[in-house]
């Protein structure tokens, strides 16, 4: 009988850094587009003000799950990072008195999910195609 190792797959540190950067860029893009759609200024300070709770949630998800071990996997890495980004980000927004209307929670959940899981799906498809 063979047993399967539960040790994480070692990854290239550069892949992990690029994956974290892609996640952070996705969150910043979501915040910039949201500010533009609500006629708010799309300045560095404005986007940073909107993005920091979600970036904190993203970083927490990366640390808690140790996402650098398998940074490009959709499941469970991408799902864990996505959910922590939204849940912790919304928690911080609530704690700081920023808005967390139900419609915003739904849009943020769907948009960040599309972005954070989407780039991973594209990377997986490209890797699979390259392997043929």
- Domain edges within the chain: 13-131
Question: Are 119 and 22 within 8 A, CB to CB?
Answer: yes
Alpha carbons 62 and 43: distance in angstroms, whole number: 27
Model pTM score = 0.87
Alpha carbons 10 and 127: distance in angstroms, whole number: 17
Alpha carbons 78 and 75: distance in angstroms, whole number: 6
Token pair 């708010």: residue: 40
DSSP state of 39: T
Per residue of the chain (132 residues), give pLDDT as tens.
Answer: 554 444 445 578 999 999 999 999 999 999 999 988 877 777 898 899 999 999 999 999 999 999 999 999 999 999 999 999 999 999 999 999 998 999 999 999 999 999 999 999 999 999 888 765
69's CB contacts (< 8 A; 6+ apart) are: 8, 9, 10, 11, 77
């Amino acid at each position: 009988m063979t047993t399967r190792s539960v040790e994480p797959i070692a990854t290239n540190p550069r892949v992990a850094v690029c994956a974290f950067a892609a996640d952070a860029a996705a969150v910043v893009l979501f915040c910039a587009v949201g500010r533009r759609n609500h006629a708010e200024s799309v300045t560095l300070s404005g986007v940073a003000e909107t993005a920091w709770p979600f970036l904190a949630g993203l970083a927490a998800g990366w640390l808690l799950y140790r996402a650098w071990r398998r940074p490009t996997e959709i499941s469970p890495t991408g799902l864990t990072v996505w959910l922590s980004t939204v849940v912790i980000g919304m928690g911080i927004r609530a704690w700081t008195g920023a808005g967390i209307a139900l419609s915003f929670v739904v849009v943020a959940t769907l948009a960040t999910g599309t972005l954070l899981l989407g780039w991973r799906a594209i990377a997986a498809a490209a890797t699979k195609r390259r392997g043929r």
